[in-house]
Structure 1
Amino acid sequence: MTPLERAVRGGAVPLPDLPPEAVGLLVELGAPARLGAHLRAVYAVACDLTGWLAAAHPAVVFDRAAVLFGAATHDIGKALHREELSVPGSRHEPAGERLLLGRGVPARLARFAGTHGSWHEARAGVEDHLVSLADKIWKGARVEDLEHLVVERIADVSGIAGWEAFVSLDDRLQELAAGADDRLAFQNGFPV
């Protein structure tokens, strides 16, 4: 089993395997194992976050399958801009969206590669916010303005006070952030 295969599925880690379509893209691109491990960690958080949101706030309507695809592929452009696996950069975002579109991925799914770092973009909706949130909280990072967008959505459609929506989301994010060290250790166990 190659390092990439170990990063994206199976093993002794309590993370769900990446979906086959994401794995296929990574293998086809010869992606580094570190990228596969990162996508798997973010995907795991997105699975948890979307499951919680659907159960705790069923009035919030969103395309869970789209969010999960977005989480599993949001950084695919780093297969082309590998330097951004170890230094900050955003060239991977438009490159990833173009790459997915070029491989026949519908625009409604490919967009997450382009919006995950720019959640205030006009085309960014609740699904984009959830992908961005998973991409932050997987490592324990909290981003107030991003979280506020999700809190507003929960409060607006659920008919609850903003503070109630905040407490609900904040509790879940704290629980998710508590697993950040294990996810970081998993990711950092693979080469760039």
Structure 2
Amino acid sequence: MTAADTPSIATDDIEDPPLRPLPERAALLLGQADAPPRLVAHLRAVHDVAAQLVDWLRRHCPELEFDAEAVLFGAATHDIGKALHPAELSGPGAQHEAAGRELLLDHGVPPSLARFAGTHASWATPGIGVEDLLVSLADKVWKNKRVPELEDLVVARLVGAGGRLPWEWFMELDEALTAIGEGADRRLAYQVSHPLTRR
């Protein structure tokens, strides 16, 4: 596999599972970072889940103000730092977070978009934006991992915007996340079908 393969993993149509292509700018950045194929596949899966969340929010809570394009770009690049710390693709570690933010900044990405590389794992930080919460949520739900504390923060944003009771939003969000989670096995299979390193 060569660097030329990265954009194809990022953007070519696939049928199983059907995943939206990454934004063009994100695909180019991943190519420039020489991102491993498995990382690109992971970002594509998380980006697709983020797009599903954005679509759901637009339908169910149009009153919630957020930057959908920022969410999608953030989901598509949140782990780009793992191109510099590839051991964190298959093991624990947080070095990729600051490294990813710096990599994006070095490539001319504005701080408002580069931040997701650092905030996707720190969703409990006071003052975090709704966009950051959505990227964090997509990064969990893509593999059907549910984090009640994170979901509660999203519900609180829905309550603040949509004027409904917390339990009503909790039930609606739970139903949406359950439906998205049903595709986790196919997304995981897609991710692991790509090698951890370039050959």
TM-based fold match above 0.5: yes
Within 5 Å, which residues of 2 pair with 1:15-94? Answer: 15-94=19-98
Asked if the contact 1:119/1:129 (under 8 Å) is kept, the reply is: yes
CA shift digits 1:152-190 (9 cap, x unpaired):
110121110000010010000000000000000000000
Q: Matched residues in 2 for 1:6 and 1:65: separation?
A: 21
1:169 aligns to what?
173
Q: Which amino acid aligns with 1:8?
A: A
Q: Matched residues in 2 for 1:113 and 1:85: separation?
A: 14
Q: Which amino acid aligns with 1:9?
A: T
Asked if the contact 1:7/1:190 (under 8 Å) is kept, the reply is: no
Asked if the contact 2:7/2:28 (under 8 Å) is kept, the reply is: no
Structure 2 residue ranges without an equivalent (≥5): none
1:9 aligns to what?
11
C-alpha root-mean-square deviation of aligned residues, in Å? 1.2
Q: Matched residues in 2 for 1:83 and 1:58: separation?
A: 40
Within 5 Å, which residues of 2 pair with 1:143-162? Answer: 143-162=147-166
The alpha carbon displacement at 1:123 in A equals 4.4
TM-score of the aligned structures, taking structure 1 as reference length? 0.96
CA shift digits 1:109-137 (9 cap, x unpaired):
00000000000123421000000000000
**Larger deviation, residues 173-182 vs 17-26:** 17-26
Structure 1 SS opposite 2:115 = helix
TM-score of the aligned structures, taking structure 2 as reference length? 0.93
Moved segments of 4+, more than 4 Å? none
Q: Matched residues in 2 for 1:133 and 1:116: separation?
A: 9
The alpha carbon displacement at 1:55 in A equals 1.0
Q: Matched residues in 2 for 1:114 and 1:5: separation?
A: 24
**Larger deviation, residues 170-179 vs 5-14:** 5-14
Give aligned-pair identity as a percent: 54
Structure 1 residue ranges without an equivalent (≥5): none
CA shift digits 1:51-89 (9 cap, x unpaired):
111110111110000000000000000000000000011
Structure 1 SS opposite 2:194 = coil
How many residues end up aligned between the 2 structures?
Answer: 192
